[in-house]
């Protein structure tokens, strides 16, 4: 509850502007402040006599801050306990359950057989393997209860900090009235402290200092270290002597230490008697709960897209997907690629030591070389049909935050570190980005899409279509000069349509109309839609297709772009959800139902729920 980096007094002062706008049910707060002896009768009456709630809130905050730290702490506790009634906008980030695994890492032979099995799966099945299975082994409550020290390991953004905050919350709300201590340190905030910092300085300077009898408190902590829990969040190594001594139990030998770290920093951090817990992210069930509570009915749009659904196993990405869909209509991403652009921008911002959003473009420009080198490794890996990135020259932690690391033993004495993206579709996104920097390769990739061996390269095309869109320069303008992109988009769509249709003349090659619609929707280019429709003689045949809401959105977009000519649309025997059907209704006025050449647009569909 109370922050470890600022006192309650500072907290109330800093939050004043927000509290003035957002506190409500002031009589509840006043009553409890009175009961707890923070305010006396006269003060309460005076505050109640103020002319409106705005002045009453100011008066409460003034009185409490004048009374100092203790009074501010009590006020914060009251607000926290009554937050559902007293805060206009409930700031609580609800903790959704995470899959926690205590089994340890998979053996090399298991990894190999899993990979072999995976290589034979279809793309949706492969993507689904990212989502961890929901077989709960241990809960945050168990983690609070155990006496063992704990190492929480997990990929970037997977929920380690959220889990340690949850442990802190459970601790602050438990009934146990015995005196014990819990300290939380965000190690990323402790960058400028001397490597030789003492325990006392760590606990009382970097953390909160008791008002009085500091020596006595420190003595109590030292002599009863079994009553102490210290959470060190985001540890990258043992360079701070005090942290090393805590881990080695040279200091506070009976204290419980909880460390969170990413897999690449795990070595040396997990003594044998510690409990190692791997944070694996959201299960499918949690993704559904998370998205439906964040987005209501709109969550079906995400669920129907296997790329986005599986991406959401990383809570940080789930947050971004939810934020993208829940923003004001005008700010909502129209396309899937825009969500990835948001994720990349947000990921860079999160790992940039809090760059402000208005300075973010400038910041991204400084990371240009690192991002493009990551993009190159992504392209090479995608072409080789693997998730292992090779020849990664970038060492910038901010850029590498999109990756997870894997230690692979090459011989019994040698281990190499391999990198992979947190999700395969992010690899494809970066690969598409690299192609736009190297447009000479694009034609070759279009050709590859027609071959059995390299047909997986087609998944880069929808990303490229949107990244070429001049109206959305939020990422590309920082990486590739606008003139280069303009030149590419001058020939890109014609070449794409011509190449992907070309084989159709000679063979029975199947033209994937839905895939085209998806690319054109991502491009948001009317001209490209018209070229495509004229290639099809304005006849879209989707007979027998399974149309998820995203495909429906894409089809509706393409159909509506044809202003001069109506479209003949064959929806015979399609399977479609109710949401998808609603997306399609919007474009039906652009559909030609009867026509003299006896082509008739046709609808017969099965609705799925
Ligand atoms: N269990 C959860 N319930 C709801 N949201 C969560 C949960 N876990 C994580 N999130 C969301 O995802 C974001 C990233 O999570 P978090 O900071 O905990 O990741 P992390 O594993 O600590 O990452 P890093 O390695 O980068 O420090 C959080 O800001 C939060 O919004």
Q: Which residues pair with 228 in a beta bridge?
A: 181
Sign of the Cα pseudo-torsion (494, 429, 526, 541, in order): positive
Helix (H, G, I), strand (E, B) or coil at 571: strand
Contacts of 477 (CB under 8 A, 6+ apart): 361
Name the nearest CA neighbour of 462 among 538, 343, 550: 550
Fold of 8-86: Death Domain, Fas (1.10.533)
Q: Which residues pair with 231 in a beta bridge?
A: 184, 258
Is 65 close to ligand 1, i.e. is its CB under 6 Å away? no
DSSP result, 443-506: HHHHHHTTSTTTGGGGGHHHHHHHHT-TT-TTTGGGTS-HHHHHHHHHHHHHHHHHHHHHHHHH
Is 95 close to ligand 1, i.e. is its CB under 6 Å away? yes
Top mutation candidate among 94, 187, 316, 348 for ligand 1, by most atoms within 8 Å of CB? 316
Q: What is the atom index within ligand 1 of the atom nearest the CA of 350?
A: 26
Phi-psi region of 524 (alpha: psi -120 to 50; beta: other; left: phi over 0): left
* Phi, psi (degrees; rounded to nearest 5) at 547: -105, 110
Is 157 close to ligand 1, i.e. is its CB under 6 Å away? yes
Q: What does the pLDDT look like over 452-474, one tens digit per residue?
A: 889 899 999 999 999 999 887 88
Give distance in angstroms: CA of 263 to centre of ligand 1.
15
Give distance in angstroms: CA of 163 to centre of ligand 1.
8
Top mutation candidate among 134, 156, 162 for ligand 1, by most atoms within 8 Å of CB? 162
Sign of the Cα pseudo-torsion (258, 260, 265, 270, in order): positive
Judge whether residue 311 has pLDDT over 70: yes
The radius of gyration of the chain from alpha carbons, rounded to an integer in Å, stands at 29
For 234-274, where are the E strands, in sequence order?
256-261
Give the model's pLDDT for residue 274: 92
Give the model's pLDDT for residue 210: 59
Round to whole Å and give the CA distance between 142 and 296.
32
**CATH 3.40.50.300 domain residues, the chain:** 138-281
* Phi, psi (degrees; rounded to nearest 5) at 148: -70, 150
Kindly report the protein residue whose alpha carbon is nearest to atom 24 of ligand 1: 156
Name the nearest CA neighbour of 359 among 373, 339, 342, 345: 345
Judge whether residue 558 has pLDDT over 70: yes
Q: How many residues does the chain have?
A: 609
Give the model's pLDDT for residue 439: 96
Round to whole Å and give the CA distance between 569 and 560.
12
CB 290 within 8 A of CB 318: yes
Is 316 close to ligand 1, i.e. is its CB under 6 Å away? yes
CB 286 within 8 A of CB 97: yes
Which residue bears the tokens 């408190």?
217
Give the model's pLDDT for residue 599: 46
pTM of the model: 0.72
Round to whole Å and give the CA distance between 305 and 337.
13
Give distance in angstroms: CA of 455 to centre of ligand 1.
35
On whether the 138-281 domain is CATH 3.40.50.300, my answer is: yes
Give the model's pLDDT for residue 581: 84
Q: What is the atom index within ligand 1 of the atom nearest the CA of 262?
A: 25
Q: What does the pLDDT look like over 315-360, one tens digit per residue?
A: 988 988 887 776 656 566 778 899 899 889 988 988 887 777 778 9
Is 160 close to ligand 1, i.e. is its CB under 6 Å away? yes
**CATH 1.10.533.10 domain residues, the chain:** 8-86
DSSP type of residue 427: H
CB 474 within 8 A of CB 498: no
Instruction: Give the mean model confidence (pLDDT) for residues 136-161.
Output: 92
CB 58 within 8 A of CB 20: yes
Q: What does the pLDDT look like over 230-245, one tens digit per residue?
A: 999 999 888 888 889 9
The distance in angstroms from the start CA to the end CA of the chain is 42
* pLDDT, greater one: 268 or 494: 494
Give distance in angstroms: CA of 160 to centre of ligand 1.
6
């Amino acid at each position: 509850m109370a922050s470890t980096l600022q006192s309650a007094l500072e907290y109330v002062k800093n939050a004043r502007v927000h509290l003035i706008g957002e506190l409500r049910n002031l009589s509840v707060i006043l009553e409890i402040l009175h009961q707890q002896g923070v305010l006396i009768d006269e003060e309460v009456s005076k505050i109640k006599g103020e002319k409106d709630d705005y002045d009453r809130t100011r008066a409460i905050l003034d009185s409490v801050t004048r009374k100092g730290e203790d009074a501010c702490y009590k006020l914060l506790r009251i607000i926290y306990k009554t937050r559902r009634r007293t805060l206009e906008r409930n700031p609580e980030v609800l903790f959704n359950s995470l899959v926690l695994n205590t089994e340890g890492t998979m053996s090399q032979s298991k990894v190999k057989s899993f990979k072999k099995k995976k290589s034979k799966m279809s793309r949706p099945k492969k993507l689904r393997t990212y989502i961890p299975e929901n077989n709960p082994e241990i809960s945050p409550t168990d983690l609070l209860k155990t006496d063992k020290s704990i190492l929480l390991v997990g990929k970037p953004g997977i929920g380690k900090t959220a889990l340690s905050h949850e442990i802190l919350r459970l601790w602050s709300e438990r009934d146990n009235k015995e005196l014990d201590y819990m300290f939380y340190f965000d190690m990323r905030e402790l960058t400028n402290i001397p490597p030789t910092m003492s325990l006392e300085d760590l606990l009382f300077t970097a953390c909160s200092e008791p008002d009085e009898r500091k020596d006595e408190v420190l003595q109590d902590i030292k002599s009863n270290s079994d009553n102490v829990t210290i959470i060190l969040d985001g540890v990258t190594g043992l360079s701070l002597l005090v942290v090393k001594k805590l881990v080695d139990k040279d200091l506070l030998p009976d204290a419980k230490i909880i460390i969170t770290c990413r897999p690449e920093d795990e070595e040396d951090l997990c003594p044998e008697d510690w409990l190692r817990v791997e944070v694996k992210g959201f299960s499918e069930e949690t993704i559904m709960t998370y998205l439906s509570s964040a987005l209501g009915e709109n969550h079906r749009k995400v669920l129907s897209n296997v790329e986005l659904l599986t991406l959401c196993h990383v809570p940080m990405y789930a947050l971004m997907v939810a934020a993208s869909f829940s923003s004001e209509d005008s700010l909502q991403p129209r396309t899937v690629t825009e969500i990835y652009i948001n994720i990349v921008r947000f990921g860079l911002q999160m790992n940039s030591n809090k760059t402000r959003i208005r300075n973010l473009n400038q910041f991204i420009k400084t990371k240009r070389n690192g991002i493009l080198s990551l993009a190159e490794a992504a392209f090479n890996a995608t072409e080789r049909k693997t998730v292992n990135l090779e020849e990664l020259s970038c060492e910038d932690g901010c850029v590498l935050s999109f990756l997870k690391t894997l230690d692979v033993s090459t011989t019994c004495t040698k281990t190499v570190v391999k990198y992979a993206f947190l999700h395969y579709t992010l690899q494809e996104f970066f690969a598409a980005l690299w192609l736009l920097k190297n447009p000479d390769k694009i034609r070759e990739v279009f050709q590859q899409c027609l071959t059995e061996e390299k047909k997986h390269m087609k998944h880069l095309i929808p990303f490229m279509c949107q990244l070429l869109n001049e109206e959305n320069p939020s990422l590309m303008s920082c990486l590739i000069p606008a003139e280069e992109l303009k030149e590419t988009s001058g020939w890109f769509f014609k070449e794409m349509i011509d190449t992907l249709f070309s084989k159709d003349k000679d063979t029975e090659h199947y033209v994937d109309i839905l895939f085209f619609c998806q690319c054109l929707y991502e491009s948001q280019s009317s001209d490209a839609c018209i070229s495509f429709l004229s290639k099809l003689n304005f006849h879209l045949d989707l007979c027998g297709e399974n149309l998820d809401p995203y495909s429906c959105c894409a089809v509706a977009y393409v159909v509506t772009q044809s202003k001069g000519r109506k479209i003949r649309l064959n929806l015979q025997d399609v399977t479609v959800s109710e949401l998808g059907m609603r997306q399609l209704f919007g474009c039906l006025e652009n559909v030609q139902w009867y026509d003299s050449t006896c082509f008739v647009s046709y609808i017969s569909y099965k609705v799925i729920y």
